């Protein structure tokens, strides 16, 4: 084991001392933190007024448009040509034209703009006009609008997850979907990133004939495992540093700008005591707190509902398990060929399971408890990605342990097969390997 440890130390130190490792270690958490911080900052910066001129030839809708948030409406008693010219002069960002026939032909409505129309402005204008057109039609049909409006009931159901210990927590399935897919995608990227480093490392040592000198001192299996584990520790170290720095950056920004992360959980809206039965009080309180809620605050609140100790431990385990499984196969491929071009014929069967898992991840996030999700999270070749997609939704510990046990068994089996290919292929030169040749190496005792 001392020889294997020496190889692990050499592979680890030779990579962490590289400038590329230091650069990515710093850039990685900055980019991850930016995913949360940048949209918040951009939303604040881009919150400038959007000026819209309204030209209503029918004179029916001028009073319908009121300023809202950063949308400002200016009624103009002029023709559309003059209004458009005023927009060209920089007085307005857009011009809404409502022709006389708009009520009979809603498709005649136009929103002119020199640049791409603000999507929020367009949606708001469409909603206002939809409401006004419906009111006019109700009046024409002799239907009391107030009665009809009184039966409209917006529904917003609060999702509650019951944990194994009976604790009730607010569930945010959208955030679980995003976190699950990102976690699975990171596993996918890390396995291929560091697995390819193993392949190239083995191939470089073989083509330079350095491996002949190394093999004289250590066994092929020790060399393969030392390289696989050493590079895996590099990836693990980088990942742990990313977690610490990302949490530190987001936490610091949250303390510095708490208003950008303001959010009141749903459970705090419901008041204890006699007021809990007061429907008006509940609705009024909900409307009040929602005025100050932010998307970033909801994101942080949703993330806090995730069981992060289980998430982080599972990520580390399934990353290492998946990496060790695939890295052993990558090492075997590197030992079986003489140049990188020849690796393509052997890479397809190895990479297909991972490609399938990342494609199926989009289906799994919509039904994380279904049979497809369950079985793919048990198969060792797909479980590193699929299980990480499922965990944010809440997976029974028994399923996590079963998946982990099968992944360990899969790693042992693939390592055994890979080591038999590696011990023969690492010293083979000048001969193109085939699948039949690899099978002979595996059977050779």
The answer to whether residues 416 and 218 touch, using CB atoms and an 8 Å cutoff, is no
Going by C-alpha positions, the residue among 233, 243, 236, 386 that lies closest to residue 303 is 243
Q: Pairing mode, if any, of strands 160-162 and 110-113?
A: unpaired
Q: Please list the residues that pair with 170 across neighbouring strands.
A: 160
pLDDT above 50: residue 86: yes
Neighbours of 72 (CB within 10 A): 17
Name which residue leads in pLDDT, 56 or 219: 56
| Maximum mean pLDDT: which of 194-198, 292-296, 345-349, 398-402 | 398-402
Q: What percent of the chain has pLDDT over 70?
A: 72
pLDDT band at 283 (very low <50, low <70, confident <90, very high): low
Please say whether the dihedral angle defined by the alpha carbons of residues 235, 240, 243 and 247, taken in this order, is positive or negative: negative
pLDDT of 134 reads 80
pLDDT of 337 reads 74
User: Which domains occur in the chain, in start order?
Assistant: 2-37+175-268+295-443 (no CATH), 50-150 (3.40.190.10)
Task: Give the pLDDT of residue 301.
Answer: 60
* Confidence band for 274, pLDDT divided at 50, 70 and 90: very low
User: What pLDDT digit, counting tens, does each position of 142-187 carry?
Assistant: 777 677 666 666 666 666 666 666 665 666 667 778 778 888 888 8
CB proximity list for 87: less than 8 A, separation 6 or greater? 53, 93, 94, 95, 112, 113, 114
DSSP single-letter state for residue 269: T
| pTM of the predicted model as reported, rounded to 2 decimal places | 0.64
More confident residue, 214 or 132: 132
Q: What pLDDT does residue 212 have? A: 66
Mean of pLDDT values over 94-109: 82
**Taking 60 as the threshold, does the pLDDT of residue 268 lie above it?**
no
Which run of H or E residues covers position 110? strand 110-113
Tell me how far CA of residue 218 lies from CA of 11, 212, 213, in angstroms. 15, 10, 9
pLDDT at 258: 63
Provide the pLDDT confidence category of residue 272 given band limits of 50, 70 and 90. very low
Q: Half-sphere exposure of residue 207, counting CA atoms within 13 Å on the CB side?
A: 13
Which pLDDT does position 403 carry in this prediction?
A: 92
Q: What is the pLDDT of residue 35?
A: 65
pLDDT at 11: 75
Residue 19, pLDDT > 90, answer no
The mean pLDDT value for 339-349 works out to: 73
Query: What strands lie across the sheet with 50-56, from one edge to the other?
Result: 71-75, 50-56, 94-98, 110-113
Q: Which helix (H) or strand (E) holds 295?
A: helix 295-304
For residue 85, pLDDT beyond 80? yes
Average pLDDT over residues 85-91: 86
Return the top range by mean pLDDT from 5-19, 387-401, 423-437: 387-401
Say how many C-beta atoms besides its own lie within 10 A of residue 130's C-beta: 11
């Amino acid at each position: 084991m001392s020889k294997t440890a020496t190889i692990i130390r050499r592979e680890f130190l030779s990579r962490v001392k590289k400038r590329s490792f230091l650069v990515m270690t710093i850039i990685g958490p900055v980019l991850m933190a930016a995913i949360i911080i940048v949209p918040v900052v951009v939303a604040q910066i881009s919150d400038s007024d959007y000026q819209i001129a309204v030209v209503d030839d029918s004179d029916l809708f001028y009073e319908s448009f009121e300023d809202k948030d950063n949308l400002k409406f200016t009624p103009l008693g002029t023709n559309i040509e003059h209004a458009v010219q005023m927009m060209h002069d920089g007085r307005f960002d857009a011009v809404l034209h409502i022709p006389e026939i708009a009520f009979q032909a809603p498709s005649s409505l136009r929103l002119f703009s020199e640049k791409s129309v603000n999507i929020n402005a367009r949606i708001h204008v469409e909603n206002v006009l939809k409401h006004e057109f419906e009111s006019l039609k109700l009046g024409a049909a002799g239907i009391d609008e107030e009665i009809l409006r009184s039966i409209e009931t917006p529904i917003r159901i609060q999702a509650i997850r019951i944990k194994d210990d009976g604790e009730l927590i607010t569930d945010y399935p959208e955030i679980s979907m995003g976190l699950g897919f990102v976690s699975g995608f990171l596993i996918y990227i890390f396995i291929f990133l560091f697995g390819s480093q193993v392949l190239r490392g083995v191939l470089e040592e073989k083509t330079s004939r350095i491996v002949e000198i190394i093999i004289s001192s250590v066994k092929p299996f020790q060399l393969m495992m030392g390289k696989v584990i050493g590079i895996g520790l590099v990836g693990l170290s980088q990942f742990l540093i990313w977690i610490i720095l990302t949490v530190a950056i987001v936490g610091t920004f949250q303390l510095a700008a708490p208003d950008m992360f303001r959010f009141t959980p749903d459970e705090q809206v419901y008041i204890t005591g006699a007021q809990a039965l007061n429907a008006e009080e509940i609705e009024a309180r909900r409307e009040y707190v929602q005025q100050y809620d932010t998307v970033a605050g909801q994101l942080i609140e949703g993330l806090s509902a995730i069981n992060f100790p289980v998430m982080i431990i599972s990520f580390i385990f399934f990353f290492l398990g998946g990496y060790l499984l695939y890295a052993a196969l990558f090492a075997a491929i590197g030992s079986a060929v003489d140049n990188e071009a020849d690796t393509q014929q052997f890479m397809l069967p190895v990479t297909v399971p991972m490609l399938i898992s990342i494609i199926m991840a989009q289906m799994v996030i919509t039904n994380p408890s279904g049979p497809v999700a369950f079985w793919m999270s048990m198969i060792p070749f797909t479980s590193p990605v699929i299980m990480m997609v499922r965990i944010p939704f809440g997976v029974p510990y028994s399923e996590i342990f079963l998946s982990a046990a099968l992944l360990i068994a899969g790693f042992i089996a693939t390592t055994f097969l890979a080591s038999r290919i590696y011990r023969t292929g690492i010293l083979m030169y000048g001969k193109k390997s085939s699948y039949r040749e690899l099978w002979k190496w595996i059977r050779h005792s």
